[in-house]
Structure 1
Amino acid sequence: MADLDQTLRQQAYAEVEKHKHTVEADPYRLRYHVMPPVGLLNDPNGFIQVDGVYHLFYQWNPFNTGHGAKFWGHYTTKDLVTWEHHDIALAPSDWFDKNGCYSGSAIEHDGTLYLFYTGNVKDENNNRETYQVMATSKDGYKFTKEGVVINLPEGYTPHFRDPKVWKHKDHFYLVIGAQSKDLKGKAVLFRSTDLTNWEHLGAFAGAHIGPFREFGYMWECPDLFELDGQDVLVFSPQGLEPSGIYYQNLYQAGYVVGTLDYDSVEYNHGDFIELDRGFEFYAPQTTVDEKGRRIMIGWLGMPEEREEDHPTIEHKWIHAMTLPRELKLVNGKLYQRPVEELKELRKDEVTYEVVELNEKAQAFQGIEGDALEIYLETLDTVTSPIAVHIRNDVNLVYNPTDKLFKLDRISYVDHQTVEERFCHISQLNNIRIFLDISSIEVFINDGEEVFTARFYPNVEEKGISFAAGAEGTERVKLQAWKIK
């Protein structure tokens, strides 16, 4: 299989070179986010810090902007700001992964970096097979596939994937996203003493969450970790029906908080909470770094939902990663805050200590453009709506009457429909906004709620303005930094 592996790699590199100028000429190409050099990027994989270097692998189809036989692309960074792209880590070249090296994770042990991923296989009748595979590396850049370490257990369909590995006390553990034979989403736990031989402990979460009798037909990309004495399970359920302002995207990404008994494999947890209230956020993965921070990166995309309509596909690429976010557990809720290192991106600061907003939209010198960070802090209790209008395409509005924060955008499909997403906020204290050409990430009240989305305005439109409702004047502090 070595020859096939090398051939696939060479073909992928050829695609990068063939379309390099087309990709880089895209006016919607992002400036400071991780993106594919060509083709389609989706789930973050193998996110880990080793010897001061953060490794971020990603699902990659270099041959077109659709989903296919995925490779693992590879980025590294020392500062979470400047990213370096490397040679392909994994190619779908073996019998156990010939239709894709699907998502997985990484762990370092005794000087070796281990990758665990799902090998996707389709037979001649398009029936799916699934295998959990291990690969190893001594240098963190060249990997050797060691083969299949987990086969599909009884009780599950072949939708059984995305292993996330960690160590707890004297054992290694894996959680895998699964679908049971009765078509229910599950999180399944495995245990090992040597990273090679794995014991199936069974499903520890699934089906009943809060008031729901069923909670999705498949759970993808599970990630279990300890934070502030609690066990947090992040996962991406498929098959949730919209409910009011919740579950409005095709698929969701969220978490539950509780306590896992590793001996009895019982997980007592609270209700499911969505991680992101925007349009494009899925399959997040976390790691703990050398500073002890729990950092999360998500896919700034959404599977299967109008992907073919994104204008970037004309330039032979689609999707990106979110900015890295530090997680904090506050009163049982995950707060997401842009990592401190992102301050290194800031240029040309402007500050307006006291601004009085009214119903007439106001623009401010230095707060305009297509790549910048904006910070708005309220100076009084908000009593009338506050709005931020961005490049004639996106609006952020907080209404204190119904306690709703809204992000709306012009649809990139028909370029006229207004699409909306909401969250509840009891009081607005601050908003931090990261704009990057055709993406927006909004952090409300120091990360209490987050909106992530792509949008595609007129490239000449750079204007940003602020307003308040007709009910009265709102005093705020404004800051902004260009990101070059």
Structure 2
Amino acid sequence: MSDSIIERAYEEVNRHKQTVERDYHRLHYHLMPPVGLLNDPNGFIQWNGTYHLFYQWMPFKTGHGAKFWGHYSSTDLVYWSSEPIALAPTDWFDKNGCYSGSAVVDDGRMKLFYTGNVKDEQGNRETYQCMAESLDGVSFEKKGVVITLPEGYTAHFRDPKVWKHELDWYMVIGAQSKDLQGKAVLFKSEDLKAWTHLGVIAGSQENNVGNFGYMWECPDVFELDGKEILLVSPQGLAPIGMQFQNKYQTGYFVGSLDYESATFTHGAFQELDRGFEFYAPQTTLDEKGRRIMFGWMGVPEQGEEAHPTIKHKWIHSMTLPRELHLVDGKIIQQPVEELKMMRKNEVKYMSVVFDKREMELKDIHGESVELELTIKDNPFQTFAVSFRNNVTFKYDRHSQIATLERVSFVTGDIEKRQCSLITLEHISFFVDSSSIEIFINGGQEVFSARMFPEEADKSIVFHGNGDVIADITKWEIRP
């Protein structure tokens, strides 16, 4: 590694520390960059009792560019420590960015796999899959290129996710074919150094999927409750009804991966999160046997230049860590159990009746709260909860549609994301100073979004159209 560019990154953190920390939109219990831009979660792994979460990081500006790997660690998924920079764009094979990738443990070492992004003087792109390793999980030594671009693909070939199945290692890469179709490509290795290209296992114009995007980013293959999941972020999907409303999407296929024939038989694509900001998630299997996921609470090229945090020299955050399960062919997402450690000052209301008027309840307010509602009786047509005059969640029983509305930080207009929902029984709202994550019916549906309300407004307002009876519990979140 070249020390100079790393020193410059640390200098940038120190130079803007006060500017960043003065921003009242800084989140209380979500991971953020110390300065600059954060995007994809990388290298998420638990090793010797410690969780490591790396992230795409541009320290020198709030736009994209030659990315570093920043690094956080935690023993409990709640309290996180900032670690030294893991990777920096300093070598011929990654000089224009250490792009996304993953981590495994092998032979007592943590090994990172990532995409080295290279551009020549004319802007032509080259791509290399690279490896680095560490004995302590903190200091990393680059080992160079392990995979070069195979025939049949453009240089949009990136984001390696590596895992072990029986005695062999496998790697899935997000790709674009020469005919500009998004693909997920599989490789195999015995030693993590020499890799065999097995071919495409899923993609646009594959497996009866039809035309489904010009690039597939950040694939992740894992077993979940007896099935194989391919998690992927396709680019180039046109909106269809309530689906695919963001600039780029994230979702999954449920199926069966035949490792011998390198074929993946799967069902239809399902969106993972219904909100405004969610992209490029990554999962790991922890030492308790849980499949846990972080996502980036952002979307590339979707109003990024309008985020009000930019004037404070930072942008974007991670979602909360979520435990995944597969129930009736659908991924269920739940905040990890450890997050309950942050709860303080419980306020509880039992059997509250909401009628046609707006209602505020004593001590149900705040900018850093968890709010839980259990619907006991809902002979109503609509029900809504508004947060800080900026975001509103609504459910219409007649249409069976759940809606998240917010004041756009780009235009100031009201914008919305929606999904079908047969019934509303339980809702958990995780509200932070500039974000909200909503888990419906135990995580059957999830909405994630950034929001940027006025600092002084801490209101939470309930709206009913007809009678609804609910139990309500609110906690302050104090990490």
> Normalised by the shorter chain, which TM-score bucket?
over 0.9
Where 1:320 maps in the other structure, the secondary structure is coil
Please name the residue that 2:335 is paired with.
338
Contact map agreement 2:373 2:428 (CA 8 A) in 1 = yes
Please name the residue that 1:92 is paired with.
89
Paired with 2:441 and 2:416, the residues of 1 have a C-alpha distance of 20
Say which of 35, 42, 45 aligns to 2:32.
Answer: 35
Identity of aligned residues (%): 59
- Alignment pair present for 1:429 and 2:428: no
Where 1:9 maps in the other structure, the secondary structure is helix
Contact map agreement 1:295 1:324 (CA 8 A) in 2 = yes
Contact map agreement 1:281 1:299 (CA 8 A) in 2 = yes
Where 1:457 maps in the other structure, the secondary structure is coil
Contact map agreement 1:224 1:231 (CA 8 A) in 2 = yes
Paired with 2:471 and 2:379, the residues of 1 have a C-alpha distance of 13
Paired with 2:207 and 2:182, the residues of 1 have a C-alpha distance of 15
Paired with 2:453 and 2:78, the residues of 1 have a C-alpha distance of 25
Paired residue total: 478
Residue 79 of structure 2 aligns to which amino acid in structure 1? Answer: T
Residue 167 of structure 2 aligns to which amino acid in structure 1? Answer: D
- Alignment pair present for 1:229 and 2:256: no
Please name the residue that 1:402 is paired with.
399
Residue 482 of structure 1 aligns to which amino acid in structure 2? Answer: E
- CA shift, 1:239, in A, is 0.1
Residue 422 of structure 2 aligns to which amino acid in structure 1? Answer: S
Paired with 1:79 and 1:358, the residues of 2 have a C-alpha distance of 41
- Alignment pair present for 1:290 and 2:275: no
Deviations 1:15-70 (A, max 9, x none): 00000000000011101100000000000000000000000000000000000000
Please name the residue that 2:468 is paired with.
474
Deviations 1:382-428 (A, max 9, x none): 5321100110111100001111000000011232x000000111010
Contact map agreement 1:312 1:318 (CA 8 A) in 2 = yes
- Alignment pair present for 1:391 and 2:411: no
Residue 72 of structure 1 aligns to which amino acid in structure 2? Answer: W
Paired with 2:205 and 2:92, the residues of 1 have a C-alpha distance of 37
Paired with 2:291 and 2:12, the residues of 1 have a C-alpha distance of 35
- CA shift, 1:211, in A, is 7.2
Residue 143 of structure 2 aligns to which amino acid in structure 1? Answer: E
Where 1:14 maps in the other structure, the secondary structure is helix
Where 1:312 maps in the other structure, the secondary structure is helix
- Alignment pair present for 1:460 and 2:442: no
Deviates more, 1:32-41 or 1:378-387: 378-387
- CA shift, 1:266, in A, is 1.1
Paired with 2:189 and 2:92, the residues of 1 have a C-alpha distance of 25
Say which of 60, 71, 84 aligns to 1:63.
Answer: 60
Say which of 420, 444, 448 aligns to 2:444.
Answer: 448
Structure 1: give runs of 5+ residues left out of the alignment.
Answer: none
Contact map agreement 1:410 1:418 (CA 8 A) in 2 = yes
Contact map agreement 2:378 2:467 (CA 8 A) in 1 = no
Residue 393 of structure 2 aligns to which amino acid in structure 1? Answer: L
Contact map agreement 1:382 1:427 (CA 8 A) in 2 = no
- Alignment pair present for 1:419 and 2:415: yes
Paired with 1:340 and 1:386, the residues of 2 have a C-alpha distance of 28
Please name the residue that 2:477 is paired with.
483
Please name the residue that 1:54 is paired with.
51
Please name the residue that 1:329 is paired with.
326
Please name the residue that 1:439 is paired with.
435
Contact map agreement 2:380 2:464 (CA 8 A) in 1 = no
Please name the residue that 2:247 is paired with.
250
Where 1:17 maps in the other structure, the secondary structure is helix
Paired with 1:75 and 1:212, the residues of 2 have a C-alpha distance of 37
Structure 1 segments of 4 or more deviating over 4 A?
209-212
Residue 147 of structure 2 aligns to which amino acid in structure 1? Answer: I
Contact map agreement 1:336 1:446 (CA 8 A) in 2 = yes
Contact map agreement 2:378 2:469 (CA 8 A) in 1 = no
Paired with 1:383 and 1:25, the residues of 2 have a C-alpha distance of 43
Say which of 179, 182, 185 aligns to 1:185.
Answer: 182
Deviations 1:117-169 (A, max 9, x none): 00000001000000000000000000000010000000000000000000001
Contact map agreement 2:129 2:145 (CA 8 A) in 1 = yes
- CA shift, 1:73, in A, is 0.2
Deviations 1:165-187 (A, max 9, x none): 00001100000000000000000
TM-score (norm 2): 0.99
- Alignment pair present for 1:145 and 2:142: yes
